[in-house]
Amino acid sequence: MAERIDGKSVSAKVKEEVRLETEKLKEQGIVPGLAVVLVGDDPASRTYVNNKKKACAQVGFYSEEYALPATTSQEELMDLVDRLNHDPKINGILVQSPLPKGLDEEAVVEAISPEKDVDAFHPSNVGRIMIGNFHFLPCTPAGVIELLKTAGVTIAGKNCVVIGRSNIVGKPMAMLLLHENGTVTICHSKTQNLKEICRQADILIAAVGRKHFVTADMVKPGAAVIDVGINRDENGKLCGDVDFEAVEKIASCITPVPGGVGPMTIAMLMKNTLSAAKIQHGLPL
């Protein structure tokens, strides 16, 4: 039976570290500040934004929330980003994705000052990650690396397979595994022999967005399985991309959904915001 990797406890540990460092910064009169922008009324996005705000309060950050209607124009959104770019109380800006149809998400991301881009979505930060000279790591992939390390999984030299190639998870995930000296394969909807490739994986990362996509016959016995998916089953219950009950019997360790990767994304966001505040005040990281 696989060890369950407890994302909640690892996340709590990371947040506690951030809280202690924030206390020290406050002695110097510095309060890290995060602005979270939500456009429209997607219920999942609303939940994520609430959790991000709650985490800010836990670690002692200043936070602002902008909940804008789905009818918000591109210009209004760009104006808000511009205002936040120039606001000294705000060290990190997060515009929750996806934006409602009709809004140009790429343009919004590019408008965020790279120094305040705590999602690490700006092309300048993406490029920095590619060459290994970065200040911020994208929150979800960074959280996955943290979970693997906590679980005692060695990445160097291992076969790592990432299923999914999104800009938010799949692509940066592959890059971070490569930085850790993993041998990395990215699979996607056009991949042939998906099952065979997945069965080679010592570390299998599922970021597909389809419930029970990863079945037991796709998993090598003893593999570490990380489930990035957040889906709903037919009863409306949260579930990941992995058939947890079956795969748990084969893997050496596995993340549950909920309580695995999700809490880590938020913890890494807090870490990035703390780094942003330090950098903007000319302090060492």
Q: Tell me the catalytic residues.
A: 52, 96, 119
Cα 204 off chain centre by? 17
Contact 57, 63 (CB under 8 A): yes
The span from the CA of 36 to the CA of 38, in Å, is 7
Q: Is 119 in the site for ligand GUN (CB under 6 A)?
A: yes
Query: Which of 95, 187 has the CB closer to ligand GUN?
Result: 95
Using the rule CB under 6 A, which residue among 18, 34, 77, 94 binds ligand GUN? 94
Neighbouring C-beta atoms of residue 128, cutoff 10 Å: 17
Q: Is 139 in the site for ligand GUN (CB under 6 A)?
A: yes
The span from the CA of 140 to the CA of 137, in Å, is 9
Site string for ligand GUN, 245-284 (x = CB under 6 A): --------------------x-------------------
Using the rule CB under 6 A, which residue among 140, 272, 273, 275 binds ligand GUN? 140
Q: Is 97 in the site for ligand GUN (CB under 6 A)?
A: yes
Preceding omega of 69 cis (within 30 degrees of 0): no
Preceding omega of 32 cis (within 30 degrees of 0): no
Q: Is 11 in the site for ligand GUN (CB under 6 A)?
A: no
Q: Is 38 in the site for ligand GUN (CB under 6 A)?
A: no
Query: Which of 85, 252 has the CB closer to ligand GUN?
Result: 85
Contact 35, 86 (CB under 8 A): no
Q: Is 91 in the site for ligand GUN (CB under 6 A)?
A: no
Using the rule CB under 6 A, which residue among 49, 129, 168, 187 binds ligand GUN? 168
The values of phi and psi at residue 84, to 5°, are -70, -35
Query: Which of 22, 265 has the CB closer to ligand GUN?
Result: 265
Question: For residue 184, what are the CA distances in angstroms to 28, 50, 72?
Answer: 43, 34, 40
Interface residues with ligand GUN (CB under 6 A) are 94-97, 119, 139-140, 168, 265
